[in-house]
């Protein structure tokens, strides 16, 4: 199984091969809106997991010494959405994504999903095609609680003192919720994205003293707004972060809307110090992970050339266009944490002295500068620049902009890095 970005990258590298020679007049295939050779479908699997680490199987059964066992956990799947950025005119609301299921001819369709039975969905998604000309950032799965064919409680057993006591956790704190899976969590196999939606039992109940729960007259422990209320509130706080998505949104029982990150998943992505968050920043994989965009009368092409032991991105601007952003080299899906300190490093030179703009912005959902915007003086000899910054907002999908337009010239770029230093 490979990540979706890797598959896209393979296709882009194939395209890039057309323009890898500096003497080739066809050098520079635009790599925005990557084309995939075949339709790209979607399958999804849903499971309950009892492992401490990332599971390797669809369902990892509860061990005999598990203190909490879930017997029945069902939800109603009401919607699947894709979240992409586009570099051509589209009518999609990029902030709210594009509904890809249910289909237009059956808009009220829902699917009952059993996590405890290890549901696998393929046939119902037969008509989904993720090949939409966009750059995939996230997939969202939306569930309704306690409606239609779903249930509004989790049923299971608590094992203590050699006994098994049945419990019911009521999910009526939630009306509906959406789990949003980051591009780095999405796998592809057999021409389909395979989305794995896991509910992690240890994350849900670990560290809670469930032995203090009051047992009802019928021998059942109930966690609800009227029984074992404090424990019910604790379980409510843990419920959505017990899924392994990157972030979530939900509508509460009060009708208000909330959102948040799954902290352990988020920390895996953003915590490492001195890690380069720019994928393929040395261009060793051709143009993979980069987007070359032209607009507002900008005309340019690209190629990867060798300089001693380095791979260098060459951008040949034949018409500068109306603005500096008429020709852009972009890198998406950069995770930023508000208040952390980062350093952006790159080496650049040109055949003509001039200026380019380097900018780190929030995702294309709102496209506001978040970190820095610097006008860099470029000379005819290679020079490394370092920009230290602290973002004001947390964003899992920030974007690096290198604006290279406004002048006719050839620019060389190499060794691009974005590292967290503290």
257, β-bridge pairs:
251
Whether 362 and 235 map to the same domain: the answer is no
- Tell me, yes or no, whether 229 lies in a domain: yes
Write the CATH number for 354. Answer: 2.60.120.260
Shared domain check, 226 and 350: no
Residue where a domain stops, chosen among 218, 249, 269: 269
269, 293, 326 - which closes a domain:
269
For residues 114 and 262, membership in a common domain is answered with yes
Domain of 170, in residue numbers: 41-269
| CA contacts within 13 A on the Cβ side of 58 | 13
Same domain, yes or no, for 302 and 154?
no
- Do 290 and 383 lie in one domain? The reply is yes
Higher pLDDT, 187 or 275: 275
For residue 94, what pLDDT is reported? 67
Task: Report how far residue 178's alpha carbon sits from residue 16's, in angstroms, rounded to the nearest whole number.
Answer: 37
Q: Output the pLDDT for position 10.
A: 34
Q: Are residues 261 and 343 in the same domain?
A: no
Q: According to DSSP H, which parts of 104-209 are helical? A: 201-205
pLDDT value at residue 127: 86
- Buried-exposed string 99-130: b where 16+ CB fall within 10 A, e elsewhere: bbbbeeeeeeebbebbbbeebebeebbeebeb
Phi-psi map region of 296: left, alpha, beta (phi>0 left; psi -120 to 50 alpha): left
In this predicted structure, what is the pLDDT of residue 184?
A: 84
State the chain's mean pLDDT as an integer: 85
pLDDT (0 to 100) of residue 128: 87
Q: Is the pLDDT of residue 372 over 90?
A: yes
Q: Looking at the structure, do residues 123 and 242 belong to the same domain, yes or no?
A: yes
For 184-233, write each residue's pLDDT tens digit. 888 777 777 889 999 999 999 999 999 899 999 999 999 999 999 999 99
- Whether residue 338 is predicted with pLDDT greater than 60 in this model: the reply is yes
**Has residue 12 got a pLDDT over 80?**
no
**Distance of alpha carbon 421 from the chain centroid:** 23
> pLDDT band at 61, cuts 50/70/90?
low
Quick: pLDDT tens for 63-111. Answer: 667 899 999 999 999 999 998 888 776 666 767 888 999 998 888 889 9
User: What is the percent of the chain with per-residue pLDDT over 70, rounded to a whole number?
Assistant: 84
pLDDT at 55 over 50: no
Give domain status of residue 2, yes or no: no
Kindly state whether residue 254 falls inside one of the protein's structural domains.
yes
265 and 310 in a single domain? The answer is no
Q: Judge if 322 and 378 occupy the same domain.
A: yes
**Is the same domain home to 311 and 415?**
yes
In a domain, 92, yes or no: yes
Q: Give me 222's structure tokens.
A: 């109930």
Distance separating alpha carbons of residues 265 and 328, to the nearest angstrom: 31
- When comparing pLDDT for 94 and 283, which is higher? 283
Position 401 pLDDT exceeds 60: yes
Nearest to 383 by CA among 420, 358, 419: 358
pLDDT score of 9 more than 50: no
In this prediction, residue 41 carries a pLDDT of: 87
Q: What is the structure's pLDDT at 31?
A: 42
Neighbours of 384 (CB within 10 A): 11
Domains contained in the chain, number: 2
- Residue 377, token pair as written in the block: 């003086």
Write down the pTM of the prediction: 0.83
Confidence of residue 147 (pLDDT cuts 50, 70, 90): low
Query: From the CB of residue 69, how many other CB atoms can be counted at a distance below 10 Å?
Result: 19
Report how far residue 137's alpha carbon sits from residue 315's, in angstroms, rounded to the nearest whole number. 26
User: Considering the domain boundaries, does residue 10 fall inside one?
Assistant: no
- In whole angstroms, give the CA distance from residue 378 to residue 286: 23
| Residue 176: φ, ψ to 5° | -155, 160
pLDDT at 38: 54
| Domain end position, chosen among 253, 269, 285 | 269
Question: In terms of domains, do 138 and 249 share one?
Answer: yes
Quick one: 294 and 363 in the same domain?
A: yes
Reported as a single tens digit per residue, the pLDDT across 24-52 is 332 333 443 344 335 788 999 999 999 86
- Report how far residue 225's alpha carbon sits from residue 297's, in angstroms, rounded to the nearest whole number: 61
Confidence of residue 355 (pLDDT cuts 50, 70, 90): very high
pLDDT one-digit tens code per residue, 303-327: 999 988 899 999 999 999 999 999 9
């Amino acid at each position: 199984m490979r990540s979706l970005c890797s598959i896209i990258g393979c296709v882009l590298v194939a395209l890039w091969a057309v323009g890898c020679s500096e003497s080739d007049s066809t050098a520079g295939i635009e790599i925005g809106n990557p084309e995939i050779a075949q339709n790209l479908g979607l399958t999804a699997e849903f499971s309950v997991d009892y492992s401490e680490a990332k599971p390797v199987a669809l369902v990892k059964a509860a061990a005999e010494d598990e203190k909490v066992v879930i017997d029945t956990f069902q939800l109603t799947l009401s919607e699947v959405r894709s979240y992409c950025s586009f570099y051509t005119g589209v009518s999609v609301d990029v902030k709210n994504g594009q509904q890809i299921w249910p289909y237009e001819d059956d808009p009220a369709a829902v699917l009952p999903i059993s996590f405890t039975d290890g549901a696998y969905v393929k046939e119902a998604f037969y008509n989904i095609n993720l090949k939409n000309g966009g750059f995939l950032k996230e997939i969202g799965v939306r569930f309704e609680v306690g409606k239609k064919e779903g249930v509004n409680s989790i049923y299971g057993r608590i094992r203590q003192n050699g006994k098994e006591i049945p419990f019911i956790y009521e999910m009526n704190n939630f009306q509906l919720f959406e789990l949003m899976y980051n591009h780095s969590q999405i796998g592809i196999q057999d021409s389909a994205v395979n989305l794995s939606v896991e509910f992690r039992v240890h994350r849900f109940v670990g560290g809670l003293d469930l032995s203090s729960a009051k047992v009802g007259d019928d021998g059942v422990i109930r966690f609800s707004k009227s029984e074992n209320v404090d424990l019910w509130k604790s379980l409510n706080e843990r419920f959505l972060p017990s899924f392994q998505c990157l972030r979530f949104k939900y509508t509460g029982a009060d009708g208000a809307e909330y959102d948040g990150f799954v902290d352990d998943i988020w920390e895996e992505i953003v915590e490492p110090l001195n890690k380069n968050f720019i994928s393929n920043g040395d261009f060793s994989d051709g143009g993979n992970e980069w987007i070359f965009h032209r607009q507002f009368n900008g005309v340019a092409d690209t190629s990867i050339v060798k300089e001693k032991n380095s791979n260098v991105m060459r951008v040949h601007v034949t018409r500068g266009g109306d603005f500096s952003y008429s020709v852009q080299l972009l890198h998406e899906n950069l995770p930023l944490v508000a208040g952390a300190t980062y350093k952006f490093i790159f080496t650049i030179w040109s055949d003509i002295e001039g200026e380019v703009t380097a900018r780190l912005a929030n995702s294309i959902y709102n496209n506001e500068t978040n970190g820095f915007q610097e006008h860099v003086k470029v000379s005819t000899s290679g020079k490394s620049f370092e920009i230290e910054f602290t973002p004001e907002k947390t964003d899992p999908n920030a974007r690096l902009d290198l604006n290279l337009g406004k002048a006719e010239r050839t620019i060389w770029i190499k060794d691009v890095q974005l590292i967290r230093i503290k």
